[in-house]
Amino acid sequence: MTFSLHGQAVSGGIAIGRAHLVSHAILEVAHYQLRERDVAAELGRFDKAVATAGAELDSLRAEASVPGAPAELSAFVNVHAMILADPTLTDGVRELIRDRRCNAEWAMVQQMQLVVDQFDEFEDAYLRERKQDIVQVVERVLRVLQGKQRKLARRKAPTGADDDLIVVANDLSPADTIQFKNLKIGGFVTDMGGSTSHTAIVARSLAIPAVVGMQHARPLIQDDDLLIVDGTRGVLIVDPDAGVLREYRLRKTELELDRTKLKRLVSGRSRTLDGEHVELHANIELPQDAERAREVGADGVGLFRTEFLFMNRDELPDEDEQFEAYRSVVKALGDKPVTIRTLDIGADKEARALRNRAGNRAAPNPALGLRAIRFCLAEPQLFLVQLRAILRASHYGKVKLLIPMLAHAHEIDATLAAVEQAKSSLRGDKIGFDASIEIGGMIEIPAAALAIGMFLRRLDFLSIGTNDLIQYTLAIDRTDEQVAPLYDPLHPAVLMLVAHTLHSGEKAGIPVSVCGELAGDPTLTRLLLGMGLRTFSMHPAQILEVKSRVLKSNIAELAPQVRRLLRLEEPAKIREQLDRLNGVAPRADLN
Ligand code: PEP
Ligand code: MG
């Protein structure tokens, strides 16, 4: 039966393909008692499933050893293979099948619970963490038992129509999503999440269509259902009829054509019709994203979210590993600048290797807690390692240092002192770095935008993080789909703060860029240009579309219109004026 569901459109485009459910619901298995005469067959079924799961891990191991595969993949495959081979798990299951006549799935879940409970008692945090690996191994065997093997990692390139693999989940963490970079995912939908959650941001960086905040999609969809994900309109169509399918295939082809046309803009300069040069930089999460930035002709990296280097692993990356990662981006960008942001961990971005550090207890309100620079200042040793690694990379190109989530003058001062300490320790070690490296701050907290003077006096440049600025100005958790409709980038208070920051930077002669998701939204390009923005930073996938807007804009014409827009307070009037700015005919409902 065909039906459609609506959510938050977070990453444009259309995917058509089969559903792949990702869920812990797999652990909710059938419980039944076997007849005595079926026990031997059930034991055989279980052993076969274990062997198949083992073979899956072997082939994953082969994939993990190809050049360019992430190092964590091979580490987790090895741990999983060890757990599967350990009789503590499998012997217990066999006993439950034999002695209690439990079906294999039920026996597996019971034995898992037993083992996991023992792990909970370990003092050692690392060992406690292994619990998750056991659950994942059990899920792998259960999938085989239930005939639902996961083929994610071994998927081949799409061969025909409707061949996208669409991940459907209740929720995906940024750490889950970043792993999609190595897999061929056509699109994804989640029940939770907001449009600027980091999960959505990673989707945009992958340029795969995504809809989040669907609320009830996961329980209504079955594995292998045919799905259409319209990431531009925020619609998911389940089991579409032939007419709808035809229409969406056509639209998908048109979008691909548009994309091909946009590629022609790669080499040209990004200048407005009245000759203003506009810099378009790339936001990246992992070193390999630098290649995409180069492909679309980015003017540099405006935001390297380094926290993603710390995710999906048990050990922190040491100074050398970080240095190599930063240097590889610097080298890939040649003489173009690379803005490296220090660790912004906390809120929705978690790294298990950091769980036992400062602020170990669960924060009652993580977005307002010990996040980003607050965390780094509370962990001076860890901060020093990162600062040294970034400074070392600055020896190989144009590196800028960016500090997230600053609100207080004393935080800026403490950060500058930490940078000085890192510099003098490198001098002591006779290691080269750029002594005049520029240091900038992110404007993401309303207090920072309002008391901008203390930032302008202390820092070399500023970058407005509109994702958090909106979250904190409107008191809307950016990851919470229940309040997503209230997350409004065009709220007059948000526009006032952005305009004030840009204007103050211009007066003080301090460059200000925008690196939040606003910068990559082509419907806001003219508004931001009219507000005075000349440096945008966004995901590589968005650069060419924004560039095409820049090329068709005349700042001298639109600046007075934007000034008028900024004097408005009624949301409907603001939208009407924005439409006018974008050359869109006024909508009937606004008149
Ligand atoms: C922002 O807050 O706008 C930003 C760019 O940082 P992040 O999205 O990583 O929090
Ligand atoms: Mg932020």
Q: At what angle do helices 71-85 and 87-100 cross, to 10 degrees?
A: 40
Q: For residue 16, is it left (φ>0), alpha (ψ between -120 and 50) or beta?
A: beta
| φ, ψ at 247 (rounded to 5°) | -60, -45
412 contacts: CB under 8 Å, gap ≥ 6:
403, 406, 441, 454, 455, 458, 459
pLDDT for the residue 160: 52
Pairing of strands 235-238, 226-230: antiparallel
Residue nearest to atom 1 of ligand 1 (CA): 465
Interior angle at CA 281, CA 278 and CA 283, nearest 5: 150
> Which residues have CB under 6 Å of ligand 1?
201, 303, 305, 344, 444, 465-468, 515-516
Residue ranges of the chain whose pLDDT lies below 50: 25, 70, 150-159, 588-591
pLDDT at 158: 42
Q: What pTM does this model have?
A: 0.75
Q: Residue 461: which H helix or E strand, with range?
A: strand 461-464
Q: Are 211 and 234 in contact (CB under 8 A)?
A: yes
Nearest atom in ligand 1 to 464's CA = 3
- CA-nearest residue, atom 4 of ligand 1: 465
Catalytic annotation, residues: 198, 515
CA dist., res. 406 & res. 292, Å (int): 29
C-alpha torsion sign, points 537, 538, 543, 546:
negative
pLDDT of residue 26: 54
Q: Residues with Cβ < 8 Å from 268, sequence gap 6 or more?
A: 547, 551
> How are strands ordered across the β-sheet holding 210-212?
3-6, 235-238, 226-230, 14-22, 164-169, 187-190, 210-212, 8-11
* Cα-based distances in Å from 198 to 10, 118, 194, 308, 474: 11, 33, 9, 10, 18
Which pLDDT does position 236 carry in this prediction? 97
Percentages helix, strand, coil for the chain, rounded to the nearest 5? 55, 15, 35
* Ligand 2 centroid – CA 345 distance (Å): 10
CB count within 10 Å of CB 22 equals: 19
Predicted confidence at residue 150, as pLDDT, reads: 47
* The pLDDT of residue 118: 84
Strands (E), 323-452: 338-341, 399-403, 438-443
Q: Which ligand 1 atom sits closest to the C-alpha of 305?
A: 9
Q: Which of 515, 536, 537, 539, when mutated, tests ligand 1's pocket best, judged by the most ligand atoms within 8 Å of its CB?
A: 515
Helix (H) or strand (E) holding 257: helix 242-262
Neighbours of 369 (CB within 10 A): 15
Shortest-distance ligand to the CA of residue 284: 1
Could you give the CA distance from residue 214 to residue 25 in angstroms, rounded to a whole number?
Answer: 18
Q: For residue 390, how far is its CA from the centre of ligand 2 (angstroms)?
A: 19
Pick the CATH number of 273-581 from 3.20.10.10, 3.20.20.60, 3.40.50.720, 3.30.43.10: 3.20.20.60
The Å distance, Cα 145 to ligand 2 centre, comes to 43
Q: What is the residue extent of each domain of the chain?
A: 3-22+152-240, 25-146, 273-581
CA of 271 to the centre of ligand 1 (A): 26
- Looking at every residue in the chain, the average pLDDT score rounds to 89
The CATH fold of domain 3-22+152-240: Glucose Oxidase; domain 1 (3.50.30)
Q: Pairing between strand 438-443 and 461-464?
A: parallel
Specify the ligand 1 atom closest to the Cα of 468: 2
Ligand that comes closest to the CA of residue 518: 1
Q: What kind of fold does domain 25-146 have according to CATH?
A: Enzyme I; Chain A, domain 2 (1.10.274)
Q: What DSSP letter does each residue of 153-195 carry, written as one string?
A: TTPPPP-STT-EEEEEES---HHHHHGGGGS---EEEESS--T
